[in-house]
Structure 1
């Protein structure tokens, strides 16, 4: 593991480490071995980052669309050139297969290139007024942004957190997950190497609650962007109210998948199974609760189990691996507890339900069926490689189950009935709905949820505008 990079923070363009700071051990989830020591921010580091971000905003808010586009396009080119290095580092510290890590790099390339075009479309409007007067509506950057990114997409999440503020003309302080720091640093370095002024973007790490309280306690920060659990999101939202900071919150989900009896079951399985076990199920929009019409329930369940058993689980650095380890030791423990609770409640475990091997954090792809609705796993996001499959009779019952939980991030449905497709698009309570597809994201499409899954959007034009404020100017 000697090719894992030396870790640091980035403040005012300086690589900050050492100095007697506490460190956090970064672990390879495939082996359980420590591969790096991450310096943790002290209060003075955070104060310095805030001071620099304030300066950076004054610089970058005056940048032209052409300057912002040039930086974003340059960073996209550098990510392409560094794709293999970025992907390998992400796999080493997060565990996902190399193929998935490469897709993450390309997600960022697409997003940065889209934002490079979007910066020329951030215009307001002029109102119709009597001669001699003028009223205009302006879009302006909101100010310094505090951005918190989780570990499950160690390249893609930092790309979202950095790309939108940079495109909007804001400065940003990013605190990415301590478990996956090198990936986030690699993305930021691409922006800096592409010409982003060093004052505009900083990367800090530290005890999450300490960092969030320190940054959000400062009036310098004008906006919070957070991706993570609903529990933490609610806590941060409360902190943000003290200084009336705007928020974009992409929180947890519990993705329902409605499968009707008019579908080609094999076709659905060919999409649903890889979607479920992508990133070992550690995906906020993961298809999780399979709500299957009775006539095709047994065929769907048995086909799912067969495919789950056949998955190749192993070190993400091996090219033939289809599912890597879970990202940290907390996740197998949580999945063990949820599956045990479901079995106690009467659910049937068809495959999995156990760890694999005696090193790393590997967990077998698992399938439960006939799970009572009061089981923990039917109400709390499992965030792991577990598929939940239950039979239902009618369309109304299936929709009611899909909408039963307070989460509303992503929902999916499979049916050949066009009128039903239209009804589902309207009635499913989610920020994103996939019908006959699990592809619900894209650089040009808003990504976000409703209810306890948060508010606001990332990606698309909406992602940039979430980092802007509206100003009305009236001239007499």
Structure 2
């Protein structure tokens, strides 16, 4: 199964600060230099950059930004420029929305049969598969995640999501409803409902899983017949643009998908406020999500938000400690800790705390950090110097507030945005590193006396995206899964996600759900149709 293989693969058996040193801490030794083979893989990735259309996709054509401005996409391995890309502004939002609006109101996409839409989406999935190596190389180059991850997790899961929701395109159903009263007309009626596409959707993507998040957003929206204005992250624009180009090749009509590149501060607000957009979907930080949610709902637009997390991992005294330590390690350090559902806070029973900490320290110190094209590397660079410095600031605050730093905590080298895998122990609940979403390679370990205490402290957060419990006891599994206030609870695993299973947050971790049948409700709306029956019809309830 896709979900099982995803986690199994994660467990081993403007120019932004180009080449300038972080001012926060002194860097330690640089990560290992890439081998000749890895250099070849990196060079192959750079060769694919020329295939990326560095423009905006509007109404089926790649065009320059209205103002002619561009920004520089940066390689997080070294801070070097990768590509100059069109910088969208509010005028470009207007152009994209006009194209999407026309495609929805007048075009064939929402009017064609579900089978026809499915055929185009299946064709897109096939094209993604044919170009999977290129997409994985670009994803690693753009984001810094390891090629071993992008080639075995991110891109295969992207393809799977398009295929999964393509299968739903001809299965959007309404219902026939008995009408029990003739009403004021004195006539009998039959009634049925339609599930219709909601219209033009504005979708705003994060930078941590660029291709996969594009699939999460696009696949269900396109399957039901919506048209889309997609804003990709300025940090990671390349795979989104290539997916869009392949969508046109698959036969997506002009205007159905429009892609904007640029700063969220420039065009995010314009998307949320635009009267031509019927719904907004956003994945990103809780801080920005609150702004987007307030703006969109202020204009009575439906909004779905997949936001931040500070997800707890509960390790009980009955857990298999070797598996739990490795599982908690990957729960945090997967994708260099830049995942909203990562296991940021680990609560460990005091009876196994010392052994668990020892294992966790050993794993962190042994995690190879370096060039993401090296197959032995588990840990590439952070996305940007800004994000790296934010994490380093939180590490410094942890040390100042009394947490015990037992592994890592430093920048690696002066080139690129590499951080050592970091572990803090003896952490208190009121410390900044415990309260804030770090979004980096920093594992925080707490001690608890009783399970009830551990669960209570795990829930003491504004977030509620995901959680996990490690135990061999079935009663503990059941108690924890009901007590933990999170949209997902994993038992003896982590990061297991599937297109068929709803994913989303409690509390400040979001509104609505991705995946499964539930996400389709966010991109459709219900219409009720009443039809009068003839007076001489003896069957007055149909």
State the TM bucket, normalised to the shorter chain: over 0.9
2:341 paired residue number: 285
1:62 paired residue number: 111
Moved more, 359-368 or 106-115: 106-115
1:124 paired residue number: 174
**In 1: Cα distance, 2:271 partner to 2:55 partner:** 19
Q: Deviations over 1:183-209 (max 9, x none)?
A: 111222222211111210000123312
1:19 CA displacement: 6.7
**In 2: Cα distance, 1:395 partner to 1:40 partner:** 51
CA RMSD of the aligned region, Å? 1.4
1:243 CA displacement: 2.1
1:92 CA displacement: 0.7
Kept in 2, the 8 Å contact 1:254–1:285? The answer is yes
Kept in 1, the 8 Å contact 2:65–2:87? The answer is no
**In 2: Cα distance, 1:93 partner to 1:443 partner:** 24
Query: Secondary structure of 1:215's partner?
Result: helix
Kept in 1, the 8 Å contact 2:56–2:261? The answer is yes
**In 2: Cα distance, 1:267 partner to 1:162 partner:** 36
1:257 CA displacement: 0.1
Looking at CA atoms only, which structure, 1 or 2, has the larger radius of gyration?
A: 2
TM normalised by structure 1 equals 0.97
Kept in 2, the 8 Å contact 1:21–1:42? The answer is no
1:108 paired residue number: 158
1:9 paired residue number: 56
**In 2: Cα distance, 1:191 partner to 1:463 partner:** 21
1:32 CA displacement: 1.0
Query: Secondary structure of 2:351's partner?
Result: helix
Matched, 1:203 2:259: yes
Matched, 1:212 2:278: no
**In 2: Cα distance, 1:287 partner to 1:195 partner:** 40
Query: Secondary structure of 2:97's partner?
Result: helix
Q: Structure 1: state its 5+ residue gaps.
A: none
Matched, 1:405 2:461: yes
Query: Secondary structure of 1:371's partner?
Result: coil
**In 2: Cα distance, 1:340 partner to 1:19 partner:** 43
Kept in 2, the 8 Å contact 1:61–1:169? The answer is yes
2:68 paired residue number: 21
**In 1: Cα distance, 2:167 partner to 2:65 partner:** 40
Matched, 1:461 2:461: no
Query: Secondary structure of 2:280's partner?
Result: strand
**In 1: Cα distance, 2:160 partner to 2:65 partner:** 36
Kept in 2, the 8 Å contact 1:342–1:372? The answer is no
Query: Secondary structure of 1:452's partner?
Result: helix
**In 2: Cα distance, 1:101 partner to 1:17 partner:** 29
Kept in 2, the 8 Å contact 1:124–1:138? The answer is yes
2:143 paired residue number: 94
**In 1: Cα distance, 2:100 partner to 2:129 partner:** 28
Matched, 1:146 2:202: yes
1:75 paired residue number: 124
Matched, 1:343 2:392: no
**In 1: Cα distance, 2:234 partner to 2:277 partner:** 21
Kept in 2, the 8 Å contact 1:168–1:465? The answer is no
**In 1: Cα distance, 2:470 partner to 2:210 partner:** 30
- Within 5 A, what are the aligned runs for 1:117-266? 117-129=167-179, 132-266=188-322
Corresponding residue to 1:432 among 488, 492, 495: 488
1:120 CA displacement: 2.5
Matched, 1:296 2:352: yes
**In 1: Cα distance, 2:298 partner to 2:437 partner:** 29
Kept in 2, the 8 Å contact 1:98–1:317? The answer is yes
Q: Deviations over 1:1-57 (max 9, x none)?
A: 354234111111111137762211111001111111111113332211111000121
**In 1: Cα distance, 2:493 partner to 2:246 partner:** 33
1:132 CA displacement: 4.1
1:333 paired residue number: 389
1:213 CA displacement: 2.1
Flag the 1:334–1:44 CA change in 2: closer, same or farther, 3 A.
closer
Kept in 2, the 8 Å contact 1:345–1:372? The answer is no
Kept in 2, the 8 Å contact 1:345–1:371? The answer is no
Query: Secondary structure of 1:390's partner?
Result: strand
* Aligned structure 1 segments of 4 or more residues deviating by more than 3 angstroms: none
Corresponding residue to 2:428 among 357, 364, 372: 372
Kept in 2, the 8 Å contact 1:147–1:224? The answer is yes
2:99 paired residue number: 52
Query: Secondary structure of 1:24's partner?
Result: strand
Moved more, 429-438 or 43-52: 43-52
Query: Secondary structure of 1:445's partner?
Result: coil
Q: Deviations over 1:308-349 (max 9, x none)?
A: 111111111222211100000012211111111111111100
